[in-house]
Every structure is written in structure tokens, then in C-alpha cells.
Structure 1
Amino acid sequence: MSDIVVTPLKRPKDGRARKTGSVREKRLVNSRGKTVRVLSLDANSATFIDDLTLVFEKNVAKARRENKRVVGSADGSGK
């Protein structure tokens, strides 16, 4: 049986963005003429897990900013 190890995620200490590996960012124009950002990643990348985590974190941060703007609370509850 294997041991479970719990450690904190490693984050850059100086606030720099971490290296993105295979994550690619494209800016596209949607049908309404608004510029949108599309993040994509390579499923065969050696850094797939880190890349997926990065994209997930960016999506959550964007959703929280939008909730804060619309509802007034980052968690979307309005409280």
C-alpha cells in the first residue's frame, strides 16, 4: 500500500506567473464583435496536469471576478 503525502502547492514567491508548458492562448473575435480569450493545452504534454491546473485556476479567477462585478461577492451568493 502506498503512503499519502499532503504538501502545499508550490507557488512563485515573487508573484511572477509560472511557466505555462503547453498552454496556448488565442484571442478571437466572437459573433458579437467582442474579443475573447481561448486557452488550449496539449493532452499529450509531459506537463499536462500542471497545465490543466493552470487553466482551471485562471477560469476560476475569471468567474470570481465576474461574480464580484455582477453580484458583489466573489462566491456568487450576494452576501
Structure 2
Amino acid sequence: MGLITGLLTLPIAPVRGVVWVTEKLQDAAERELHDPGVLRAQLALLNQDLEDGSISLEEFEREEERLLDRLHAAQSCSASNDRR
């Protein structure tokens, strides 16, 4: 970025900073959302909640299906990226 461009865009620098931080947060959230390790840990916690009686069997099955779908999608996405 040149000196003139830097001076002319200086008033919007805070906006660019906020956009950058937002993009980094979104990237981190998406990585965590699709991380098989995180999903497996959530499944283990869900199983523990069922064993403790914190949730009903219906709640367990509904949440387990949602987590397994996400895990399957993450693994299939990972497998397709590995082939490239």
C-alpha cells in the first residue's frame, strides 16, 4: 500500500480492522465446527449426560444424530480434500 493510498484510506482503518477480526473469528469457529476431535468429544459428553440421567433417551438420540451427521460431513470433506 502506497503512502497516498494509506492516507486516503486511514479513516476506514477501524472498519478494516473489525472486518479482519470478524473473518478470523469465523474461520476459527468453522474449524471447530468441523473438527472431528471436537465432535467426538461432544459425543462423549453427550453419552456421559445420558448415563448421568441429565438428558432423556429421546434428547440423546436427537443430539447424537445431529453430531454424527456433522462428523460424517467433516470426514467426507476431509477425505475429498486429501485426494486433491
TM class by smaller structure: 0.3 to 0.5
- Higher Cα Rg: structure 1 or 2? 2
Would you tell me which structure has more helix in proportion to its own residues? 2
Would you tell me which structure has more strand in proportion to its own residues? 1
